[in-house]
């Protein structure tokens, strides 16, 4: 039997010291729990997605400097984590495999996504080689995120009789993504007839939210262990390929899922950008009511201020609703009448509105 630990951490792009400290914490925790291999997510050292920071040489150098610092902390344990590798004038989405204080291997991600929110081909060069490792009687391979989604990659892996696969990921959330991801990983594990250890990152980064939900999938395609959703977690799995395991059910409520994603995204956007408090415009309508309620539940009422901005088009009922929302949430609020500001806009735009009837265009300024 071997112990594999999936460290589902919340990294911050560019916060090398913070990410490094968090990685050391989980390495130490893994060592105390006698874990054989501790795994971190894709680009967990520098944070994902680093985007145009990758164009700055000092960002790459700092990332490599912290990777070299990590080496001495990996004695008596195996550590796999994502970082940015550099070879001459090319950079790679990579992982480093440390074993007992030594750098055992570096792998370069082969399949670089370039759709939707992904733009990896703009920065990274694709790798070519697929690695294979042994731990006692167990054979395994390690890859990164999109690699495991590709049939051609699985075909290359299928030529080896592997006991398990480890996949480092930075897979962002969207509605239904958890079920989709589970289906893809299930198909991969069945095709390869081996266990699959999937380690995702968690947290909000700018417009993206990463849900975590790291998991262990059996050769039958059944999920036998889940990490938490939308929270940091450390999943330790006692792996014995001959042991019969009971499948676990992940019950997903779409309403709860979206709510947790919104809270995490909002909280991390505020925290990671160094803000302490927020101001929310409250109109008395359902949209602003939802936003200010979410902000209060996420950040705490003392960190949220309401701003009510009535004009000559604000009805007394709407104005009263706006105040009632703030009072019900017990947040401090301010009222700023914008009638004079509105009139100034009308005066400035008068030449462009000439000979046109007054309508909702003016009201929505």
pLDDT tens-place string over residues 231-240: 999 999 999 8
pLDDT of 115 strictly over 90? no
Strand order in the sheet with 138-144: 133-135, 138-144, 164-169, 195-200, 215-217, 223-226
| Band of pLDDT at residue 248, cut at 50, 70 and 90 | confident
Q: Which tens digits make up the pLDDT trace of 174-204?
A: 998 998 999 999 999 999 999 999 999 999 9
Q: Which tens digits make up the pLDDT trace of 9-45?
A: 999 999 999 999 999 999 999 999 999 999 999 999 9
**23-32, 115-124, 191-200, 279-288, range with the lowest pLDDT:** 115-124
Q: Which tens digits make up the pLDDT trace of 133-162?
A: 999 999 999 999 999 999 999 999 999 999
Q: Which tens digits make up the pLDDT trace of 64-90?
A: 999 999 999 999 999 999 999 999 999
pLDDT of 354 strictly over 90? no
199 is catalytic: no
Q: Which residue has the higher pLDDT, 362 or 344?
A: 344
Give me the DSSP letters along 112-158.
---STT--GGGTPPP--PPP-EEETTEEEEEEEGGGGG-HHHHHHHT
CA distances from 165 to 81, 144, 149, 173, 198 (A): 15, 10, 13, 23, 8
Q: Which of 109, 182, 263, 272 is catalytic?
A: 109
When pLDDT is averaged across residues 116-132 and rounded to a whole number, the result is: 94
When pLDDT is averaged across residues 276-298 and rounded to a whole number, the result is: 97
145 is catalytic: yes
pLDDT of 250 strictly over 80? no
CATH numbers and ranges of domains, the chain? 2-261 (3.60.110.10), 276-363 (3.40.50.620)
| Band of pLDDT at residue 353, cut at 50, 70 and 90 | confident
78 is catalytic: no
| Band of pLDDT at residue 313, cut at 50, 70 and 90 | confident
pLDDT of 245 strictly over 90? no
Q: Which of 145, 194, 199, 326 is catalytic?
A: 145
**Cα–Cα distance measured from residue 160 to residue 13, given in angstroms and rounded to the nearest whole number:** 36
Spatial CA neighbour of 41 closest among 136, 128, 109 = 109
| Band of pLDDT at residue 287, cut at 50, 70 and 90 | very high
| Band of pLDDT at residue 214, cut at 50, 70 and 90 | very high
The average confidence (pLDDT) of the chain is: 95
pLDDT value for 254:
87
Q: Which of 12, 42, 46, 263 is catalytic?
A: 42
3-class state of residue 110 by DSSP? coil
């Amino acid at each position: 039997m071997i112990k594999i630990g999936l460290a589902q951490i919340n990294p911050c792009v560019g916060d090398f010291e913070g990410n490094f400290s968090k990685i050391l914490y989980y390495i130490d925790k893994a060592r105390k729990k006698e874990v054989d291999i501790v795994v971190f997510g894709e680009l967990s050292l520098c944070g994902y997605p680093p985007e145009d920071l990758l164009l700055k040489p000092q960002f790459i150098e700092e990332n490599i400097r912290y990777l070299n610092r990590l080496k001495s902390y990996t004695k008596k344990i195996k550590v796999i984590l994502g970082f940015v590798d550099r070879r001459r004038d090319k950079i790679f989405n990579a992982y480093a495999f440390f074993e007992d204080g030594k750098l055992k291997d570096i792998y370069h991600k082969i399949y670089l996504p370039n759709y939707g929110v992904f733009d990896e081909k703009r920065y990274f060069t694709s790798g070519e080689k697929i690695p294979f490792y042994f731990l006692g009687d167990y054979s395994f391979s390690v890859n990164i995120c999109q690699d495991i989604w590709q049939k051609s990659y699985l075909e290359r892996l299928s030529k080896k009789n592997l006991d398990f696969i480890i996949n480092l990921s930075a897979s962002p959330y969207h509605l239904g993504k958890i079920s989709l991801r589970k289906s893809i990983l299930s198909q991969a594990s069945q095709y390869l007839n081996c266990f699959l250890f999937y380690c995702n990152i968690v947290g909000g980064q700018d417009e993206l939210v990463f849900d975590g939900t790291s998991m262990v999938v059996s050769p039958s395609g059944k999920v036998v262990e889940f990490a938490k959703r939308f929270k940091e977690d450390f999943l330790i799995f006692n792996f014995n390929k001959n042991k019969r395991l009971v499948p676990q059910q992940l019950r997903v409520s779409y309403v709860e899922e979206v709510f947790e994603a919104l809270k995490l995204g909002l909280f991390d956007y505020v925290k990671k950008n160094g803000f302490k408090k927020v101001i929310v415009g409250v109109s008395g309508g359902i949209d602003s009511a939802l936003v200010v309620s979410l902000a209060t539940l996420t950040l705490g009422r003392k960190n949220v201020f309401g701003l009510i901005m009535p004009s000559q088009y604000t009805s007394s009922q709407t104005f009263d609703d706006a105040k009632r929302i703030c009072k019900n949430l017990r947040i401090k609020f301010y009222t700023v009448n914008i009638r004079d500001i509105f009139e100034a806009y009308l005066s400035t735009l008068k030449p462009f509105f000439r000979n046109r009837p007054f309508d909702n265009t003016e009201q929505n300024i």
